[in-house]
Amino acid sequence: MTLFLVLVLSLAALIYGISILETYPDIAYIVLLFGFLGTAIAVYALVQIRMRLSKLRIVVPPVTTTIECKKCSFKNVREFQRGDYIFKELEPCQKCNDKMMITAIYREVKEKEKERFPY
């Protein structure tokens, strides 16, 4: 929220600087300088925050469900769905038509994960 305040104040300074440019050019230049600096800092900080937020969204690893056939050990891996639990019986096997069962539910954690959070 502070950033938006800085941005608004900087933009106000820019407008004020332009409006007094003809009457008080010396003051106007200083006001404009601060206005530009403030705007640049606020925009830069906002972009940084946006990027961090979008990174955080990507970081959330997907939950995977492994379905296995007890008879022929045919394995199927798919995205986790609501209501999935281990040992839940699902649709018949594609190969032998026997009932398939959820054998594992896990979150895929990649090696890169640790590097993304240096703090």
State which of residues 6, 7, 9, 96 lies at the interface with Zn ion (CB under 5 A): 96
Token output for 59: 């970081």
Q: What CA–CA distance (Å, rounded) separates 31 from 103? A: 67
DSSP state of 1: -
State which of residues 74, 84, 88, 105 lies at the interface with Zn ion (CB under 5 A): 74
Residue 68 Cβ, how far from Zn ion at the closest point, in Å? 9
The overall longest dimension of the chain from CA atoms, in Å, is: 89
State which of residues 72, 90, 101, 105 lies at the interface with Zn ion (CB under 5 A): 72
User: Taking the CA of residue 67 as centre, how many other CA atoms within 13 Å lie in the half-sphere pointing to its CB?
Assistant: 18
Asked if residue 69 binds Zn ion (CB under 5 A), the reply is yes
Residues that bind Zn ion (CB under 5 A): 69, 71-72, 74, 93, 95-96, 98
